[in-house]
Amino acid sequence: RAYEMLFRLAFTDRFESNKGHIVVKTPVTFPAQNYAVHKIPDIDSEIENTVMCVMLRGALLPSIIMSKEIEEYSSHKYVTPFALFKINRDDSKNEDDMEYILDLKKSFFNLEDLDGKNLIFADPMNATGGSLVTVVKYLQQNGVKPKSIKFFNVISALKGSLRVTRALENCTCYTLWLDPVLNEKAYIMPGLGDAGDRLNGCDKKDNPRNIIRLIADYGSNISELYRNQLAKIEETVLD
């Protein structure tokens, strides 16, 4: 629900006066095929040049949900490509010297597919903003020039949102709630704990799940609801 609200905040609220139509087949086929016509904001130009960038693991499910929203609002049923980035922070560090490690061996993306695109990042919590900045700076150093960057969070630290927008050109942060304080270990106070572990469960340190096993753990309900998104992720990982 939170990501449906964030999607509307970023995309549909500004285009309410510019309406488009989507025609959908109904289950009624006798005596003739019946159709339903839905009037929705015309935002194809805003959403059909986007790539969903996932900072694994905590951001996988929110990214899938955001991609589904784009598909539903696209008159062409556009399914976003996915770029998957495995990034961790060094929790032995403090907030003032925190380091972020991008694990390229466990990441899946093509630089060519990201150049000139609107990049969307969805992460439940933004503490320092370091993960996003690290990923985008890596892409820029390798020749990727994003058209725009949008960062969607349910909860953000004020400091993290400011860091992101100051460090990255043409980047907008959308959040439902700002918490004011980070502690010395760069955790949001009061905070909710590790958002990734709450969404996905904890991994064993000596046997972390890969991306396919993580998706399988979401269960059949998720697989059915987000079939097109999971097919795109599977294609990205396996190809």
Contact 232, 94 (CB under 8 A): no
Give the integer Cα–Cα distance in Å for 15 and 19. 7
Q: How far apart are CA 9 and CA 7, in angstroms?
A: 5
Q: 173 by DSSP, 3-state: which? A: strand
Low-confidence residues in the chain, pLDDT < 50: none
Contact between 208 and 196 under an 8 Å Cβ cutoff? The reply is: no
- Scan for tokens 């969805």, then name that residue: 122
Question: pTM for the whole thing?
Answer: 0.85
What is the predicted pLDDT for the residue at 161? 93
Q: How high is the pLDDT of residue 193?
A: 64
How far is the C-alpha of 179 from the C-alpha of 215, rounded, in Å? 30
**Architecture per CATH, 2-238:** 3-Layer(aba) Sandwich (3.40)
pLDDT for the residue numbered 15: 60
Cα 53 to chain center, whole Å?
6
pLDDT score of 207: 77
